[in-house]
Amino acid sequence: MSVTSGIEGITDSIFWIGENDRETDRFEGLWSLPHGVAYNSYLLRGEKNILIDTVKSSFSDDFLKKIYYLLEGRAPDYAIVNHMEPDHSGSLSALRNLFPGIKFIGNAKTAEMMKNFFGIEENVITVREGETVDLGGRRFAFALTPMVHWPESMVAYDVSDRILFSSDIFGGFGATEGGVFDDQADMGLVESEMMRYYVNIVGRFSASALKALAKVRSLDVGMICPAHGPIWRSDPERVISLYEKWSRQETEDGVVVAYGSMYGNTKAAAGAIAAALAERGVSRVAVYDMVRSDLSAAAADIWRNAGLILAGCTYNMELFPPMSTLIRHLESKNMKGRYVGLCGTFSWAEASMRELSEFVGRSGGGWTLVEPKILIKSAPKEQDFEQCGLLAANMADAVKRGRNG
């Protein structure tokens, strides 16, 4: 069997045997993948041969060929299962079927999920928080990282090589483009796709992520091998710092204007607010038409910036559906310490502003309302545009105060 592509040497004895998925349209059935996504798996050769995570089931055949090739037909001894979401666990059944003697290493919650997903109950070794295990002379320290973003999530630290196998933490969307290392990647694209991944997959669990990052900080990490995105061999500090910044919900002093419009009247108000924000010196104004914009990209930009304007019309006596989808998604992210301004339009049922206001009320102070709330009947008029200017001025002040304070 000949396999020469899809394998990258990380060290003399550690190999990347992941898969680049450029065929799936939506990760988890939800999130767009314009640049694909990588499912990273690693094979460590030595006295004992050790796998770390697997790949999505649709890539099992190719994945197993790589193991067969690198081990010259021998069976791997262990598979460390850092995370059971099927983008990483999807080949466990195929692995067990081909290598029935393989031993799986996870924690108690991993074991339960292996049984429930795949009926795997035998040859499962469980580890606890902080436990160190010797696997054929290679020592691993395990740290549990619950709710980043599933309860069984954990990371494995290779003590001898100072390599952290970090699972979803430090992951990002985007297939690897050529090389698998950070110094071979387009960092602008990597960071943008990593942030979109963080906000939409991990963001809700930022408090858990901060606890996990504190554990990472206690380790002497020379290289980070995550389950998605590039391997951080040149600058692991960069990705740790970025994840810390996003987990702490640190914002920049820009404003996102997100609107949903049927016939252009809400769009006109949103455009007036955006223009006035720029006139008031807001350094970055980003406008999203939520009928057409990618939800995950809008959410990532909203996470990044301190200010948000929500402008929506009324439809069927409710908030326009694309805006309802947006606020439901934002609510699920538990965003904190941000400013929001509201603009609602209607002709005969005053629903949009009511629902937007209820969203702010439910945030428990996570969103601070910037006045005035702009309620427009049918089409914006001169006095409405004046209100748009006033809201933009107040938002610009709030964002600058937030930055300076």
Tokens standing for 74?
């021998």
Residues 280, 393: contact at Cβ < 8 Å?
Answer: yes
Residue 253: which of 275, 286, 295 has the closest Cα?
286
Provide the CA 388 distance to its chain's centre, in angstroms.
33
In the complex, what is the shortest distance from the CB of residue 53 to ligand FEO, in angstroms, rounded to a whole number? 9
**CB nearer ligand FEO, residue 88 or residue 338:** 88
**CB nearer ligand FEO, residue 85 or residue 182:** 85
- The mark string for 121-150 relative to ligand FEO (x by CB under 6 A, - otherwise) is ----------------------------x-
In the complex, what is the shortest distance from the CB of residue 235 to ligand FEO, in angstroms, rounded to a whole number? 22
- The mark string for 69-88 relative to ligand FEO (x by CB under 6 A, - otherwise) is --------------x-x-xx
Give the single-character DSSP code of 372. P
168 binds ligand FEO (CB under 6 A): yes
In the complex, what is the shortest distance from the CB of residue 285 to ligand FEO, in angstroms, rounded to a whole number? 33
228 binds ligand FEO (CB under 6 A): yes
Cβ-Cβ contacts under 8 Å for 217 (sequence gap 6 or more): 240
Residues 81, 69: contact at Cβ < 8 Å?
Answer: no
What whole-number distance in Å separates Cα of residue 104 and Cα of residue 99? 11
Tokens standing for 26?
């939506």
By CB under 6 A, the count of residues binding ligand FEO is: 8
35 binds ligand FEO (CB under 6 A): no
SS3 328: helix
In the complex, what is the shortest distance from the CB of residue 26 to ligand FEO, in angstroms, rounded to a whole number? 14
In the complex, what is the shortest distance from the CB of residue 87 to ligand FEO, in angstroms, rounded to a whole number? 5
Which ranges of 71-228 would DSSP assign to H, the alpha helix? 86-89, 92-98, 108-118, 187-197, 206-217
**CB nearer ligand FEO, residue 39 or residue 346:** 39
In the complex, what is the shortest distance from the CB of residue 31 to ligand FEO, in angstroms, rounded to a whole number? 11
Distances (CA, A) of 94 to 3, 126, 169, 307: 19, 21, 25, 48
**CB nearer ligand FEO, residue 96 or residue 149:** 149
Residue numbers at the binding site for ligand FEO (CB under 6 A): 83, 85, 87-88, 149, 168, 227-228
